[in-house]
Amino acid sequence: MPIAYLDLIGGIAGDIFLAALLDAGYPETHLATVLKQLPGGLSLKTENLKINGVSAKKVSIVARTTGVLPQKRTELFSLVDRLPFEKKVLAKAKNILETIFQAEAKVHGEDINQVHLHELSAFDTLADIFGVLGGLSYLKVEEVCASEIPLGRGLIHSRHGILPAPAPATLEILKGLPVKGIPEKKETVTPTGAALLKNLVKDFGPFPEMRISKVGYGAGHQKFDTCPNILRLLVGKKRTTENLSGEKVVELEANIDDKTPEELAFLAEKLMSSGALDVGFTPFFMKKGRPGFKLCILAKPENTNQLVKIFFSEETSLGVRIREIKRKTCPRQIKKISTPWGEISVKFAKAPCDSFKIEFEDLKKLSEQTGIPLIKLKKNIESYLKRHLKA
């Protein structure tokens, strides 16, 4: 799968993202065609420069038409709907603009249809959005990932007066996304840059497993004091182990020293029935030499809060450690198989695992029904399944 990774060294703005795409192979002629379809009589100016010895591209979008875009949501969306782009491109662009309008409305305490974009009503806002969408499409990128988002602190000038950086609307957009502070007293992320991240990036974190084919460097218009003001874009193919699926899971862990085995079994059963993927206990010695158990719960991120509530309702422990981890899993399927001893559920794992496992509860029930010892019945069914599957 074609993938792009945004290494947000100095942050992100629409023009920096666009510059990185151009440096990674997006033709200027293609971007010029996109700009011709936008209002404002836009033209493209690019500059190749070196930042700390690294070659990077800087982009400027110049509007020949005086004035600004419509500042209100309904008027701007009406303009966008009339632009000669594919419906899916228009939909993505409107989602990005909607993110900005929602943030502005929340920050200023206004109805979303009464909000004015002010600075973001410049013609180059649409150029950044449609240019980025065009660049990703041209490079055939199907998935975008990014590093943590670096945020500086300082003061910026706006039509509302002097505001803290990051701008309040930018922070509103960045809610739910991973950020980190850097010692830079300037704006490192613009509202347009934040909206592009919010709508286009699927995953944030370290470099993904990929085979890199292109690298582009986009340069910002400001000079930073503590880091280069560049965005590094990696384009390539995502590397995945054949047939293995990757997913994020959450590991919840706690130390327990005041429960009986029966109570622990009840807790495990309750957690599993409430969405836990796995529950385990490891015996170990705690403080003052007391024997205890380490509880480990594996869960999907969306089930975390529910499982934490269950834990605290059944436990006297005062805290739970939570870690987000990644795991690879083999595709699996549970099938009902008829055997000479009765019907039983079997979990089949596909390549590269190529194995099967009899569901224990079905095996236990079948053993009780037939009177055959569980161990013997398991061996008989496994032997039958191996012959049956080969046939």
* pLDDT at residue 348, rounded to an integer: 86
* pLDDT at residue 162, rounded to an integer: 84
Number of helices (H), then strands (E), belonging to the chain: the values are 11, 18
* pLDDT at residue 115, rounded to an integer: 85
Residue 300 in tokens: 């999907």
**Cα diameter, the chain:** 89
* pLDDT at residue 7, rounded to an integer: 98
Question: Is 73 in contact with 101 (CB distance < 8 Å)?
Answer: yes
Smallest Cα–Cα separation from 220: which of 188, 177, 196, 246? 188
Place of tokens 């151009």: 22
Place of tokens 């930073």: 224
Q: Which amino acid is at 120?
A: L
DSSP β-ladder status, 179-181 and 149-151: parallel
- Give the global pTM: 0.67
Place of tokens 């200027």: 28
Average pLDDT by consecutive 10-residue portion of the chain (391 residues)? 95 97 98 96 95 95 87 93 96 97 92 81 90 97 96 79 87 95 94 97 90 97 93 90 71 90 92 93 86 92 92 85 85 87 88 82 92 93 82 51
CB atoms within 10 A of CB 289: 6
Between CA 13 and CA 197 the distance in angstroms is 10
* pLDDT at residue 390, rounded to an integer: 61
